[in-house]
């Protein structure tokens, strides 16, 4: 199916955020300089981004119907199934965008390679015109990235490209009950077969991190490295990484606390669509589930609520 419209997603620069905060350029410069900060860093980044934006807009304009939207419009923007999405920004823009697109292919462009990592990059700006034409005809390679899904019993759902966090708004302990399946192989007289055993444990901790393959090199890795470091055991950061298209998620429990009511036997594990992770809140208030480090985008998760955690059915389609 040929795509019929290009949606270019842009972001606000740090300099524009400063102007919004301080109202005028002179006031923004004064505030930065009074704190010993280099104004040129913000100005050069702003200029480089808008130069890239102008170049990309000219290329997009020469390839049919198109429109530009800002990152802040994503929660209310309705993408068409026949849109081709172009994201111009840092990896965080792509991660945020991922929660709002469906089956639409996404071309991700890094406007400032010297400042931002190429974590989710489709192509360089030099090859963008060619890739854009191929993508509009559906002739590009697609990398499908697994997303995580948290669904409450009332149907509320939250998606994450990198990771989900389940815990409290504040730094006090989160209380919940974990339930997951474990396979045990038993030998019978005729054959061997696997029996799925469901393990349930009430816990108190500083929260649970559930990661996709895309996010496995981030928060998941840092949590594991820290835990092993405290135990004075060596842990290689790359050991936590797993494929970005994997059909499973991995989770770790942060700082589980043993008590007469709470256990610590489940500290990490994995879940699939067939065998999800179930988490029931035991928190009277301030329980939350948020995604990709954005605390303002959350589900309330208070006592009695149960979240089903699994890989989402839909995947983000990153143009390669």
Instruction: Give CA–CA dist 142/122, Å, rounded.
Output: 9
Q: How confident is the model at residue 77 (pLDDT cuts 50, 70, 90)?
A: very high
Chain segment 236-255, per-residue pLDDT in tens: 766 788 999 999 999 999 99
Strand partners, 37: none
Helix (H) or strand (E) holding 56: helix 39-61
Q: What is the pTM of this model?
A: 0.86
Report the 10 Å Cβ neighbour count for 82: 12
pLDDT in tens, 141-160: 999 999 999 999 999 999 99
Q: How far apart are CA 158 and CA 297, in angstroms?
A: 9
User: In what side-by-side order are the strands of the sheet with 192-205?
Assistant: 157-160, 148-152, 306-311, 277-281, 174-187, 192-205
CA 70 to chain centre: 19
Mean pLDDT of 251-276: 94
What DSSP assignment string belongs to 6-41?
Answer: EEEEE---HHHHHHHHHSSHHHHHHHHHHTT--HHH
The DSSP 8-state label assigned to residue 264 in this structure reads -
Within 8 A by CB and 6+ apart from 103, the residues are 81, 314, 317
d(CA 94, CA 66): 19
Domains and CATH numbers, the chain: 5-140 (3.40.50), 148-313 (2.60.200.30)
Asked if 79 and 31 count as a contact pair (C-beta separation under 8 A), the reply is no
CA–CA separation, 244 vs 248, rounded Å?
10
Over the stretch 170-226, which tens digit does the pLDDT of each residue have? Answer: 888 999 999 998 765 555 555 555 556 789 999 999 999 999 999 998 989 888 887
Q: What is the model's pLDDT at position 32?
A: 87
Confidence band, pLDDT 50/70/90 cuts, at residue 1: low
| pLDDT value at residue 117 | 85
Are the C-beta atoms of residues 248 and 272 closer than 8 Å to each other? yes
Q: Identify the CA nearest to 173 among candidates 202, 207, 209.
A: 207
Give the mean pLDDT of the chain: 90
User: What's the pLDDT score for residue 239?
Assistant: 74
């Amino acid at each position: 199916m040929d795509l019929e419209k290009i949606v270019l997603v842009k972001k606000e620069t740090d300099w524009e955020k400063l102007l919004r905060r301080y109202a005028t350029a002179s006031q923004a410069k004064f505030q930065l300089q009074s704190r010993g900060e280099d104004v040129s860093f913000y100005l050069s980044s702003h200029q480089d981004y808008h130069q890239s934006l102008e170049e990309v807009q000219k290329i997009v304009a020469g390839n049919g119907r198109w429109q530009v939207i800002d990152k802040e419009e994503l929660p209310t923007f309705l993408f068409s199934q026949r849109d081709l999405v172009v994201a111009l920004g840092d990896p965080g823009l792509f991660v945020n965008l991922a929660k709002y697109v469906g089956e639409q292919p996404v071309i991700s462009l890094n406007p400032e390679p010297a400042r931002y990592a190429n974590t989710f990059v489709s192509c360089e700006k030099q090859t963008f015109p060619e890739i854009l034409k191929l993508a509009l005809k559906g002739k590009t390679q697609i990398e499908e990235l697994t997303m995580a899904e948290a669904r409450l019993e009332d149907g509320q759902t939250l998606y994450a490209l990198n990771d989900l966090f389940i815990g409290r708004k504040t730094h006090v302990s989160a209380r919940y009950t974990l339930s997951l399946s474990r396979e045990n192989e038993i030998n019978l007289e005729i054959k061997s077969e696997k029996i799925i055993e469901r393990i349930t444990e009430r816990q108190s901790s500083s929260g649970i991190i559930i990661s996709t393959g895309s996010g496995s090199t981030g928060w998941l890795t840092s949590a594991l490295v820290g835990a092993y470091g405290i135990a004075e055991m060596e842990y290689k950061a790359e050991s936590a990484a797993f494929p970005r298209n994997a059909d499973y998620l991995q989770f770790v429990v942060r700082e589980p606390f043993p008590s007469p009511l709470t256990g610590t036997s489940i500290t990490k594990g994995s879940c699939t669509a067939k065998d999800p992770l179930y988490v029931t809140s035991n928190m009277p208030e301030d329980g939350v589930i948020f995604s990709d480090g954005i605390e303002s985008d959350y589900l309330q998760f208070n006592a009695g609520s149960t979240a089903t955690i699994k890989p989402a059915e839909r995947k983000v389609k990153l143009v390669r």
